[in-house]
Chains A and B, each alone.
Chain A
């Protein structure tokens, strides 16, 4: 069964360092998303991406964050200068269509900023 794949599963980084989280969405999907979940809190939407551009972003997704689809299969989230409060589980999701279609999530990358 097709699935969304995320790497790495766990990343530890020092405050101020740049990190790139990687995702391989389901192959025929066209819409891609990043979410995050701080420990003990709700899953929160960060950004949606379609046709090689951001279609929507939340107030969390500030200038420290960027997304890219560098090739036909990968979708990345970059955090330019990590802060302690960026520590969270980051989930990538994809769907074949827009707003009324089912979203499929990856297993997540646990980011720990020390």
Chain B
């Protein structure tokens, strides 16, 4: 059964810093990996989708990498801003059917606070 772990669980940094959030997954047989942002009491906003054949994806100040063979992904946030404060979730879609494999398997998230 696929397990997704995110470290650190929480991170507080001053504005302007570059930072890295980590995600690991136990089964490398995945179709893709998706990073989301969740604001308190709100829904999930998709940030980046990386297909299993890709190594990285970029959107603005965000860059996500994927090393499928080692079961790892990182989300790099450049020049952090207070508006980046949120919980960042990593989710993978596994290749095997059955047991809910159609769905995304989520990590618990990294709670990020950017201090002004």
B12-44 interface code vs A (CB 8 A; 1 in, 0 out): 000000000000000000011010100001111
Q: Nearest B residue to A10 by beta-carbon distance?
A: B41
Number of A-B contacts (CB under 8 A): 68
Instruction: Give the residues in chain A near B106, CB-CB below 8 Å.
Output: 42-44
Chain B, interface size category, equals 20 to 34
Contact of A55 with B102 in the complex, beta carbons under 8 Å: yes
CB contact between A105 and one of B32, B43, B102, B107 (< 8 Å): that residue: B43
For A63, the chain B residues whose CB sits under 8 A away are: none
Is B91 an interface residue, CB under 8 A from the partner?
yes
A40 to B98, CA, bound (A): 26
- Choose one: A58, A104, A105; the contact of B100 (CB below 8 Å): A58
The answer to whether B79 has its CB under 8 Å from any CB of chain A is no
Asked if A53 is at the interface (CB within 8 A of a chain B CB), the reply is no
**Given A56-B101, A108-B42, 13 more pairs with CB closer than 8 A:** A33-B103, A43-B104, A47-B103, A48-B102, A48-B103, A56-B103, A59-B100, A93-B44, A100-B31, A102-B46, A103-B34, A103-B104, A105-B46
20 contacting pairs across A/B (C-beta < 8 A): A33-B103, A42-B108, A43-B44, A43-B104, A43-B106, A46-B103, A47-B103, A55-B102, A56-B98, A91-B43, A93-B44, A99-B93, A99-B95, A99-B102, A100-B31, A103-B46, A103-B104, A104-B46, A105-B46, A108-B43
> What is A's interface to B at a CB cutoff of 8 Å?
6, 33, 35, 41-48, 55-59, 91, 93, 99-100, 102-108, 110
